[in-house]
Amino acid sequence: MAKRVALILSGCGVYDGTEVHEASAVMVHLSRAGAKVQMFAPDIEMMHVVNHCEGKPGTEKRNVLQESARIARGDITDLAKLEVSAFDALVIPGGFGVAKNLSDWATKGKDYSITPEIEKVIKGFHQAKKPMGMCCISPVLAAKAIPGCEITVGHDCECEKWPYAQVAKTMAELGSKHLNKNVGEVHVDSKNKLVTTSAFMCNAPIHEIFDGVGVMIKEVLKLA
């Protein structure tokens, strides 16, 4: 029987929403594995809208659910309607929407919180002992909802290849166990059924990120 996977988006575009290449990689690998996917996003206003040519926020207001529908080709559901019992697994790709629309990591750093909706969903899958896959920055959501969990966001030593290594250090400071992994690798927290990978936290060729996301999906479906 096909595995049923809930995929949570946080907008459309790396600087203010879901990282489009990560979302596409997730969907391709799930499709290849024969999984049945339903996409969700919160029906809330975005923190801000970023001009992706300039990397600067403007004054326009947009809605997370409506922007996420661009990736979902219109077939998307309000996150408030997600029922854990209807799915075998959960996947959350990265992008700054995770840090801006699903949490306030982007503005508060280690003092961040996650939205009540996303906390409810993650805790629901965790309590039901159903696997979750998170890539790029999205493991920070698990770190808050599942204290003490094991994650990877890549490496904890900053360099040209790993420009966001400080995130790994902060996760460790907050009580999660961070494991250094390369872009094509994942970490599987068997106790919490949590699979994480770095994706675009690494300055790597896009095909390597695609392949790393594929390993994450494979491991999530093994646990489902």
Distance, CA of 64 to CA of 164 (rounded, Å): 25
How many other C-beta atoms are found inside a 10 Å radius of the C-beta of residue 112? Answer: 18
Residue 153 tokens, joined: 């966001």
Residue 136 bears catalytic tag: yes
Q: At 124, which amino acid appears?
A: G
Distance, CA of 27 to CA of 6 (rounded, Å): 11
DSSP code, position 182: -
Q: Which of 5, 18, 6, 217 is nearest to 136 (CA)?
A: 18
Q: Which of 223, 218, 214, 159 is nearest to 25 (CA)?
A: 214
Distance, CA of 114 to CA of 9 (rounded, Å): 14
Residue 12 tokens, joined: 């459309």
- Which of 12, 136, 149, 202 is labelled catalytic? 136
List CB contacts of 204: < 8 A, sequence separation 6 or more. 161, 183
Widest CA span in the chain: 47
Beta bridge partners of 150: 177
Residues known to be catalytic? 136
